Amino acid sequence: MNQQFPTSNSVDIMLFSEGTYPYVKGGVSSWILQLMKGLPEFSFGVCFIGATPYLDGELMQISYEFPENLKHLEVHYLFDDNDKKRPKAKRKKGNKEGFEAIEKLYKAFQNNSGEIPEVLKNLDFYTKEVTFDDFLHSELAWEFLTKIYSKNCPDVPFVDYFWTLRNIHKPIWTLANIVKNLPTTKIYHAPSTGYAGFIGSLASYTNNRPFFLTEHGIYTRERKIDMLSADWIEFKKPALLQQPQEYNYIKKMWITFFDKIGLFCYHRSNHILSLFSGARAIQINFGAPEQRTKVIPNGVDVDGLMKTMSKRKDPQKPIITLIGRVVPIKDIKTFIRAIKIASQTIPDIQGWIVGAVDEDREYVQECQQMAFALDLKGAIQNFDGNKSKLTIEELEKNEDKIKFFGHSNIKEILPKSALQTLSSISEGMPLVILEGFAAGVPCVATDVGSCRDLIEGGINSQDKAIGLAGAITGIANPDALAKEYVRFLNFENGVWAKAQAAGLKRVQKYYRQEMFLQEYRELYNEALSMTWDQLNEKRETL
């Protein structure tokens, strides 16, 4: 999809998109689009920040049409091929002030206190006091880096240490230069901490405008999980020769960096928003000022989705739908195993996997191979460059028990689904569960993110009294999932009907799109009606 990017000198709200809208479908991208379309009275900008222009080896493509009130879109990459075009480095002595600034930056990312050094808040530090070339090439900086290396991790290969340090800090200068050229903006808003949150916070410090943070997942926590499990930053050394402090030093550098970035965002935010109470508690535990935290649940188009119920057939086919990207964090393989187990009781059961298949092609192929190995086959739609695209109707007629639909219109999928499921090992607040409830589809999900709150009722006692809209199981437990599938698909026992009624009532009462949009409308209008001094005073006195 080739589209001309809109540009403007000024916007009401600038959203910072880290690897999401407008390239990657679903999740945070859907939320960003929902926010813009639902609040047409505001003009929006989107600043996309990606690692490289490629996804799974292919050039990324725009995945969304742009709403009329998206007035500005710019795209930046933190780790592209620009280094190949850089002029040859020149040796430089560096000046005392620049060296001291570099030392401050390094120590700012290494100390364990909650204090945010002033040097991190000053755009001139990155663009005038010390450039990235100074950081890489000055003799004084080099002397400092080698001293720290010798003190902390002399047995780690120096080249690993240097490139880790370089890759940690390079994006900071890139983001600072982006801030210099952003359009005039009244409110900055990021859907995560990390790089998106950092650029939003730095822009807020630079221009004295409010900054909102809405965390869909807890970025710092997720990055810790990534880093602790990553083998690409594992320093290998014979175990008998390792010292505990050096074994994870490279990983610790990354984790400390993201910890500090998270605090930087929390300390600057006027509002620190989350999607459910459990996420808010984690934010506070990670250093967010409690008085500035607030829960705003996601909302869905309840009325539009309820209309799809007229398309449901009776009796229903035993179709279980997993709506989500085909990536390891969604644990699609556990779902496939659960369908195999459940098929022993319900021979005509089907498992529909509805979500993008282009993010991790290797994992998609592994899932497909598992389906074939378990004699479930695995018809594929929207796979291999759309060369063999099948319609929903064609796939429905296919006799495979596992079917991959690719990214599809859920208003066509949900009326055909008896049950929705999530087998994820991590989630925030999945919109798909709410969308399923509004379309009359109960859900069986793993106990991650807000899934339990959505299914059992977690807002208040009245919400809990509505009843169960599905069931919760442990992660990576196909037997438990299969048991629930069989229980719900025995329509004669009344469990499915009660769950459908509970889901419909819950989503209508607590998760309407209008409620979600009104909360943001009020926050935006308040920020636009106050001076920076008034906003800052309110933030400090909360």
Give the pLDDT confidence score for residue 229 in this predicted structure.
46
What counts of helices (H) and strands (E) characterise the chain? 23, 16
Confidence of residue 542 (pLDDT cuts 50, 70, 90): low
Give the pLDDT confidence score for residue 381 in this predicted structure.
65
Strands of the 319-323 sheet, one edge to the other: 379-380, 402-404, 350-354, 319-323, 419-422, 443-446, 470-473
Counting every residue written for the chain, the total comes to: 542
CATH hierarchy code of domain 302-511: 3.40.50.2000
Q: d(Cα 532, Cα 542) in Å, to the nearest integer?
A: 15
Strands of the 184-190 sheet, one edge to the other: 70-77, 44-50, 10-18, 184-190, 211-215, 271-274, 293-295
Domain coordinates of the chain in residue numbers?
302-511
| Residues in a beta bridge with 166 | none
Q: d(Cα 380, Cα 227) in Å, to the nearest integer?
A: 32
Whether the Cβ atoms of residue 339 and residue 402 lie closer than 8 Å to each other: yes
Record the tokens describing residue 450, joined without a space: 């807000």
Give the pLDDT confidence score for residue 216 in this predicted structure.
84
Q: Residues 352-361: what's their mean pLDDT?
A: 88
Say yes or no to pLDDT of 40 above 90: yes
Tens of pLDDT, residues 81-95: 555 555 555 556 655
Most confident of 161-175, 387-401, 515-529: 515-529
Tens of pLDDT, residues 388-410: 567 888 888 888 999 999 888 99
